[in-house]
Structure 1
Amino acid sequence: MPKGWFAALALLAATPAFGQAVVSPDVPIDPKSVDGLRKIGAQVLFWSQAQRDANFPHMEKLFPGHIVKAGAKVRPLPEGKPLPVPAAEIDAYIAANNVAGLLVVQDGKIRLERYARGYSREGRWTSFSVAKSFTSTLVGAAIRDGYIQSVDEPVTQYIPDLAGSGYDGVTITQLLTMTSGVRWNEDYTDVKSDVARMFLEAVPAGQDPTVYYMKNLPRETAPGSKWVYKTGETNLIGVLVQRATGKPLATYLSDKVWKPWGMESDAFWMVGPSGHEVSGCCLSVSLRDYARMGMFALSGGKGVVPAGWFADATRPHADIGEPGYGYGYQWWTYPQGRFGAVGIFGQMIRIDPKTRTVVVMSSAWPKATDRALQHAREIFVDRLIDAAAQ
């Protein structure tokens, strides 16, 4: 099963304490400072269950960020026919897998909605790498708005700082599909990995930390020839969209999706040392608005992204080495034509076009990622979608 690894660790785990001693949560930390961000971030993978339950719905209390503003008009989610799945079966899965929120929407109607662990409809929960799929959608919006001409354009057209680096000749498509050919190590247990070192190095004044680090990476293979999961490249996508549009990602997401699609609540998007959103991670969104994002993708995003954008974005462009599974434009692809967004500790949006069903889960798994937990989730999600088809 594909791993929804913690995108923010490219920013957050960059500390000598990562993987070793953890800063005590009782020690006062200034989250507005770069050092403070790193110290708090270094704790995330090591939080106790109580800390995960307390912090996942309130990340804005620990980190600086921007607000994705909702509009005045809310897209309704009326009640539909209850899903024919025994309540005891649902209760057992929620309890065994530390699920905080579970929502099934079919044809725009709610067929199942459950909350636990102190979460509620009025709250919001962190996304971790689910945010990657939101970021890629902004590329589509920028193309339709004329800020970006095509995904076939070279990345250096919009981030000229990358000229002369391993990103020469790499297209936006290859950035979206993580097939740039640039060497990258996403091992969160290795303090020398790229994802851990990304923000440790001193950055010359006036340079973006993400761009500065990424431009010094060597090329490993020809562009388009190999898929490697790279949080740093999602962060580059965010830089690209910001530079092309001249707008913060939170503002652009509000203008293009949150307000016109009728999201119910404001969202929170964490920012990094540059003051820009951490585009590979760290959106905090309500359960129903996660579902609305799935509905938006399922609808094709007419009027916001180019015609056919989601059909292309959610097909398997890259082989990830798992039969039946693949990677699109920052969307995971699954058997039976399904697609979705994934984040560690059990965050998920899954879309099934055949039954027009969206399944959302917000969780606080005891581990960032785990094969047994992933397998159990796949069985349960398949069960829900099959029930929706009845």
Structure 2
Amino acid sequence: MRTILKFSLRAAVILVVVAAVVGFWKREEISRLLAVSTLFSEEKIVANFSHMDSAFLSQELDRGTGPVSDLPQGDPMDLPGSFDTWLSERAVTALVVMKDGKIRHESYHKGTGDEDRRISWSVAKSFLSALMGVIVEQGAIASLDDPVEIYAPSLIGGAYEGATVRNVLNMASGVTFDEDYLDQSSDINKMGRVLALGRSMDGFAADLEARFTSPGAQWQYVSIDTHVIGMVIRGATGRSIHDLMEEYIVDPMGFEAAPYYLTDGYGVAFVLGGLNLRTRDYARFGQMFLQKGLWGDRQIVPARWVTASTRPSAPTAAGEVQYGYQWWIPSDAPEGEYFARGIYGQYIYIDEARGVVIAANGADRGFREDGAHDQNLAMFRTLAASLE
């Protein structure tokens, strides 16, 4: 009996030691998982969205040694009477409104400041689309109608095999992917845990097997399509998204502060939602697009790509919101109205005809409510119209 007790005690001590070692070894992963579990909580969401590098693996982009590009100030604009109500109801944290290249309104809310680097969420998709335009212009990708596996061979045998580059740009891959943020077992939340645990996003995409329809047949918002775009770009160029974004977007545009991407455990940029910038730099990017890809005396993104990517081309349903190459177009949009959009209230809104760019960040926990997006779009249109 005494021998059994000694053995049991020894085994218990060993288990405690092993658990302690494993806990120490995995402490960063455990910490990131805990951060994910409270990322959107009411008391933490605002601070979290301005400090995502404290919760996830990340890597800064080199902004270069050049001067910050100028965003001149214009006369303060008159704000509509419903403005303050909108700020409160939609939990806006930052807003920059530009007209003809000049800032007409800039404000920060809920304890945030102008130096905060805020999470883009899916606004990052539009940045990646811009980079794709540069790579296509250089000839690294022969055709948008090439199958994605030509550039990303690890996708052979999975759900993405046979989908074209154009299909994934249009969110029309046909790949089954549950985007329900409220369901912990959904694909989007599984992907979040892959990121938090430092596993491979490439592997996650390659392991998807199911399709709900054939590629190109139907539009359905599938965030992992954007990661596949990143795989295609990396495969076509042999370079990282960080390097390419630094060289072709961040450095020549003179961003105010070094942006950063959240990354997986292999240093691969979380291109579908992990870019973090100051709000004025979101506005800079929008202004460059309004100017058909021109910034100063340099063509950042080919003008024909700006036009092609921001005009409806995806197989969306009649009368519904329209989609281009990772840009949104309202169903009733006049020519030249489009926007980038991320969960919880992140936007870059562009009205070419009026010369207006609006960059907005938010921590809107009600962003999925009926009418929330319509309320934002209505305010952007009201602000743009008031500047005519």
With the length of structure 1 as denominator, give the TM-score of the two structures.
0.83
Task: Output the CA distance in 1 between the equivalents of 2:25 and 2:78.
Answer: 49
Higher relative contact order (CA 8 A, sep 6+): 1
- Say which of 82, 86, 95 aligns to 2:88: 95
Do the aligned partners of 1:319 and 1:325 also contact (CA within 8 Å) in 2? no
Distance 1:370 1:322 in 2: 22
Q: Which residue of 2 aligns with 1:57?
A: 50
Q: Which residue of 2 aligns with 1:20?
A: none
**Aligned partner of residue 336 in structure 1, secondary structure:** coil
Report which of the two has the higher share of helix. 2
User: 1:353 is matched with which residue?
Assistant: 352
Residue 251 of structure 2 is matched in structure 1 by 259
1:99-114 to 2 correspondences below 5 Å? 99-114=92-107
- The counterpart of 1:183, out of the listed 176, 185, 188, is 176
Displacement of 1:36: 4.2
Give the deviation of 1:149 after TM superposition: 2.3
In the TM superposition, what whole-angstrom CA distance separates every residue of 1:315-339 from its partner, at most 9, and x where no partner exists?
A: 1112444726211111111212311
| Paired residues, number | 354
Q: Decide whether aligned partners of structure 1 residues 146 and 73 sit closer, same or farther in structure 2, where only a CA change above 3 A counts.
A: farther
> Which of 206, 212, 219 is equivalent to 1:227?
219
Residue type at the aligned position of 1:387: S
The amino acid that maps onto 2:372 is L
> Shift of the alpha carbon at 1:271?
0.5
**2:8 matched to which residue of 1?**
none
| Shift, 1:212, TM fit | 4.7
Compute the RMSD of aligned alpha carbons: 2.5
For residues 199 and 68 of structure 1, what CA distance do their matches in structure 2 show?
22
Question: Are residue 128 (structure 1) and residue 126 (structure 2) matched?
Answer: no
1:336 pairs with 2:334: yes
| Secondary structure of 2:371's aligned partner | helix
> What residue is the counterpart of 1:163 in the other structure?
156
Cα separation, partners in 2 of 1:167 and 1:61, compared to 1, 3 Å: closer
CA contact (8 A) 1:34 1:273 kept: no
Query: Residue 94 of structure 2 contacts residue 361 of structure 2 at CA under 8 Å; is this kept in 1?
Result: yes
Aligned to 1:363: 362
Alignment deviations for residues 147-197 of structure 1 (CA, whole Å, 9 cap, x no partner): 222322210110112223332321101011111122222222334332233
Amino acid at match of 2:125: K
Aligned to 2:235: 243
The answer to whether the 8 A contact 1:56-1:126 is kept is yes
1:216 shift after superposition:
3.6
1:301-340 matches, cutoff 5 A:
301-302=293-294, 303-321=299-317, 323=319, 325-334=321-330, 335-337=333-335, 338-340=337-339
Q: Does the aligned pair in 1 maintain the 2:38–2:44 contact within 8 Å? A: no
Q: Identify the range of structure 1 (245-254 vs 104-113) with the bigger mean alpha-carbon deviation.
A: 245-254
Distance in 2 separating the partners of 1:51 and 1:309 = 39
Unmatched 5+ residue regions in structure 2?
1-22
1:75 aligns with 2:69: yes
Distance 1:32 1:214, change over 3 A: farther
Q: State yes or no: 1:387 paired with 2:386.
A: yes
| CA distance in structure 2 between the aligned counterparts of 1:130 and 1:85, rounded to whole angstroms | 25
The letter of the residue matching 1:164 is: G
In structure 2, relative to structure 1, the CA distance for the partners of 1:336 and 1:290 (3 Å cut) is: same
Please say if residues 77 and 105 of structure 2, whose CA atoms lie closer than 8 Å, have aligned partners that are also in contact: yes
Give the conservation status (yes or no) of the 8 Å contact 2:201–2:264.
Answer: no
CA distance in 1, matches of 2:61, 2:236: 19
Distance 2:31 2:238 in 1: 28
| Displacement of 1:353 | 0.9
Q: Give me the identity figure in percent.
A: 32
Distance 2:349 2:72 in 1: 20
The letter of the residue matching 1:243 is G
Contact map agreement 1:346 1:369 (CA 8 A) in 2? no
C-alpha change, 1:270 and 1:216, in structure 2 (3 Å) is closer
> Is 1:297 aligned to 2:289, yes or no?
yes
Q: Aligned to 1:141, which of 134, 138, 148?
A: 134
Distance 2:250 2:288 in 1: 10
1:23-66 Cα offsets, whole Å, 9 max, x none, are: xxxxx999984554344223323x12x31122211111222211
Q: TM-score, normalised by structure 2?
A: 0.84
Query: Gaps spanning 5+ residues in structure 1: where?
Result: 1-27, 202-206
Amino acid of the structure 2 residue aligned with 1:276:
V
Using the TM superposition, give the Cα deviation of residue 95 of structure 1 relative to its aligned residue in structure 2, in angstroms: 3.0
- The CA distance in 2 between the partners of 1:384 and 1:318, in whole Å, is 28
Shift of 1:273: 2.8
- Corresponding residue of 2:38: 43
Pick closer, same or farther for the CA change 1:155–1:75 going to 2, 3 Å. Answer: same
**1:84 pairs with one of 56, 78, 86:** 78
CA positional deviation for 1:354: 0.7
Deviates more, 1:28-37 or 1:175-184: 28-37
8 Å contact from structure 2 (residues 312, 329) kept in 1 = yes
Q: Which moved more, 1:318-327 or 1:346-355?
A: 318-327
Deviation at 1:229, TM superposition (A): 1.0
Mark the CA change 1:258 to 1:84 in structure 2 (over 3 Å): closer, same or farther.
Answer: same
Q: Structure 1, residues 220-246: CA drift from partner, whole Å, max 9, x if none?
A: 322111111111111111222222223
CA distance in 2, matches of 1:350, 1:30: 44
- Asked if structure 2 preserves the Cα contact closer than 8 Å seen for 1:214 and 1:232, the reply is no
Deviation, 1:134, is 0.8
Between the aligned partners of 1:166 and 1:358, the Cα distance in structure 2 is: 37
Deviation, structure 1 residue 133: 0.8
TM-superposed CA distance for 1:304, in Å, is 3.4
CA–CA distance in structure 2, aligned partners of residues 29 and 359 of structure 1: 45
Aligned equivalents of 2:75, 2:113: Cα separation in 1: 21
